[in-house]
Structure 1
Amino acid sequence: MNQTIQDFTSGNMARQMLRFAWPLFLANLLQTLYSIVDMVVVGQFVGSGGLAALSSASMIVFVITSLCTGITTGGAVLVAQYEGAHKKQRRVHTIGTLFTLSMLLSVLVTVSSLLLYHPLLELMQLPKEAMQYADDYMGIVCMGTVFVFGYNAVCAVLRGLGDSRRPLYFVLAAAIANIVLDLLLVGVFRMDTRGAAIATVVSQGISFFVAAVSLKRSRLAVGAYSAGLFLSKTAKLILKIGLPTAGQMAILNLSYLIATGMLNVFGVAVAAASGIGLKLNTVAAMPIWAVGQAVTTIAGQMMGAGDMQRAQITGKTGAQLCIAAAVITTILFQLFAGPLVMLFNADPDVVREGILYLRICCSLNCIVYAVMYAYNSFATGVGDAMFSFLNSMLDCVVIRILGSFLLGFSFGCGFIGIYIAESFAPVLPAIVAGIYFTRRRWMAKRLVGT
Structure 2
Amino acid sequence: MASSKEMTAGKPLTLIFSFTLPLLLGNLLQQTYSLIDAAIVGKFLGINALASVGASTSVVFLILGFCNGCCCGFGIPVAQKFGARDYETMRRYVAVSLQLAVVMSISIAVITSLFCSNILRIMQTPENIFEDAYLYLLVTFIGVPCTFFYNLLASIIRALGDSKTPFYFLIFSTVLNVLLDLFCILILGWGVLGAGIATVIAQGVSAVLCYFYMYRHFQIIQGDKNDRKFRPRLAGNLLGIGVPMGLQFSITAIGSIMLQSANNALGTACVAAFTAAARVKMFFMCPYESLGIAMATYVGQNYGAGKPERVWQGIKSSVGMMLIYAVFTFTVLMLASKQVLYLFVDPGETEILKDAMLYLHVSAIFFPLVGLLCILRYSIQGAGFTKLSMFSGVAEMIARILVSLLAVPVWGYTAVCLGDATAWLFADLFLVPAFYYVYQKIKQIKPV
Query: Could you state the TM-score of these two structures normalised by the residue count of structure 2?
Result: 0.94
**CA distance 1:222–1:44, change in 2 (3 Å):** same
Shift of 1:257: 2.5
Residue equivalent to 1:213: 212
CA RMSD of aligned residues (A): 2.0
In the alignment, the residues of structure 1 paired with residue 406 and residue 441 of structure 2 have an alpha-carbon distance, to the nearest angstrom, of 35
Residue equivalent to 1:242: 242
Residue equivalent to 1:269: 269
Residue equivalent to 1:371: 372
In the alignment, the residues of structure 1 paired with residue 9 and residue 155 of structure 2 have an alpha-carbon distance, to the nearest angstrom, of 23
In the alignment, the residues of structure 1 paired with residue 57 and residue 339 of structure 2 have an alpha-carbon distance, to the nearest angstrom, of 22
Shift of 1:227: 5.1
Instruction: Note if 1:134 corresponds to 2:133.
Output: yes
In the alignment, the residues of structure 1 paired with residue 406 and residue 296 of structure 2 have an alpha-carbon distance, to the nearest angstrom, of 35
Aligned residue type for 2:333: F
3-state SS, counterpart of residue 162 of structure 2: coil
Aligned residue type for 1:436: A
Instruction: Note if 1:5 corresponds to 2:4.
Output: yes
Shift of 1:264: 1.2
3-state SS, counterpart of residue 86 of structure 1: coil
Aligned residue type for 1:182: D
Where does structure 2 lack aligned partners over 5 or more consecutive residues?
A: none
Shift of 1:441: 3.5
Aligned residue type for 1:337: S
Shift of 1:206: 0.8
Residue equivalent to 1:421: 419
**CA distance 1:436–1:262, change in 2 (3 Å):** same
Aligned residue type for 1:430: D
**CA distance 1:33–1:363, change in 2 (3 Å):** closer
Aligned residue type for 1:284: F
Provide, for residues 227-282 of structure 1, a one-character-per-residue CA deviation record: whole Å limited to 9, x for no partner.
Answer: 54321111111112211111111222332222111111111111100111111111
Give matches, 1:35-184, under 5 Å: 35-184=34-183
Give matches, 1:424-435, under 5 Å: 424-435=422-433
Residue equivalent to 1:352: 354
**CA distance 1:104–1:230, change in 2 (3 Å):** same
Residue equivalent to 2:381: 380
Residue equivalent to 1:285: 285
Check whether the contact 2:259–2:403 (CA below 8 A) recurs between aligned residues.
Answer: no
Shift of 1:149: 1.4
The 10-residue stretch of structure 1 (138-147 or 201-210) with the greater mean CA deviation from structure 2 = 138-147
Shift of 1:437: 2.5
Aligned residue type for 1:27: G
Shift of 1:310: 1.0
Provide, for residues 283-319 of structure 1, a one-character-per-residue CA deviation record: whole Å limited to 9, x for no partner.
Answer: 1110000010000001000010111111222223223
Provide, for residues 336-361 of structure 1, a one-character-per-residue CA deviation record: whole Å limited to 9, x for no partner.
Answer: 1101111111122211111111122x
**CA distance 1:39–1:445, change in 2 (3 Å):** farther
The 10-residue stretch of structure 1 (51-60 or 371-380) with the greater mean CA deviation from structure 2 = 51-60
Where does structure 1 lack aligned partners over 5 or more consecutive residues?
A: none
The 10-residue stretch of structure 1 (203-212 or 31-40) with the greater mean CA deviation from structure 2 = 31-40
Residue equivalent to 1:315: 315
Provide, for residues 121-156 of structure 1, a one-character-per-residue CA deviation record: whole Å limited to 9, x for no partner.
Answer: 112211111110011112222221111111112111
Residue equivalent to 2:256: 256
Aligned residue type for 1:291: L
Aligned residue type for 1:151: Y
Residue equivalent to 2:334: 334
**CA distance 1:140–1:424, change in 2 (3 Å):** closer
Shift of 1:364: 2.5
In the alignment, the residues of structure 1 paired with residue 248 and residue 242 of structure 2 have an alpha-carbon distance, to the nearest angstrom, of 10
Aligned residue type for 1:394: A
Check whether the contact 2:91–2:227 (CA below 8 A) recurs between aligned residues.
Answer: no
Shift of 1:70: 0.9
Aligned residue type for 2:293: Q
3-state SS, counterpart of residue 363 of structure 1: helix
Shift of 1:379: 0.3
Aligned residue type for 1:386: K
The 10-residue stretch of structure 1 (431-440 or 206-215) with the greater mean CA deviation from structure 2 = 431-440
Aligned residue type for 1:79: V
Check whether the contact 1:302–1:308 (CA below 8 A) recurs between aligned residues.
Answer: yes
Check whether the contact 1:95–1:157 (CA below 8 A) recurs between aligned residues.
Answer: yes
Shift of 1:422: 2.7
In the alignment, the residues of structure 1 paired with residue 268 and residue 257 of structure 2 have an alpha-carbon distance, to the nearest angstrom, of 16
**CA distance 1:297–1:323, change in 2 (3 Å):** same
In the alignment, the residues of structure 2 paired with residue 305 and residue 337 of structure 1 have an alpha-carbon distance, to the nearest angstrom, of 45
3-state SS, counterpart of residue 425 of structure 1: helix
In the alignment, the residues of structure 2 paired with residue 154 and residue 445 of structure 1 have an alpha-carbon distance, to the nearest angstrom, of 32
In the alignment, the residues of structure 2 paired with residue 293 and residue 399 of structure 1 have an alpha-carbon distance, to the nearest angstrom, of 24
The 10-residue stretch of structure 1 (296-305 or 221-230) with the greater mean CA deviation from structure 2 = 221-230
Provide, for residues 32-90 of structure 1, a one-character-per-residue CA deviation record: whole Å limited to 9, x for no partner.
Answer: 22322111111112111111110123333222221221111122110010011110100
Check whether the contact 1:255–1:400 (CA below 8 A) recurs between aligned residues.
Answer: yes
In the alignment, the residues of structure 1 paired with residue 444 and residue 380 of structure 2 have an alpha-carbon distance, to the nearest angstrom, of 9
Shift of 1:429: 2.4
Residue equivalent to 1:437: 435
Identity %: 25
In the alignment, the residues of structure 1 paired with residue 262 and residue 205 of structure 2 have an alpha-carbon distance, to the nearest angstrom, of 36
Check whether the contact 1:80–1:301 (CA below 8 A) recurs between aligned residues.
Answer: yes
3-state SS, counterpart of residue 426 of structure 1: helix
**CA distance 1:364–1:216, change in 2 (3 Å):** same
Shift of 1:103: 0.6
Aligned residue type for 1:159: R
Residue equivalent to 2:400: 400
In the alignment, the residues of structure 1 paired with residue 21 and residue 59 of structure 2 have an alpha-carbon distance, to the nearest angstrom, of 28
Give matches, 1:11-50, under 5 Å: 11-50=10-49
3-state SS, counterpart of residue 354 of structure 1: helix
Check whether the contact 1:34–1:178 (CA below 8 A) recurs between aligned residues.
Answer: yes
Check whether the contact 1:73–1:241 (CA below 8 A) recurs between aligned residues.
Answer: no
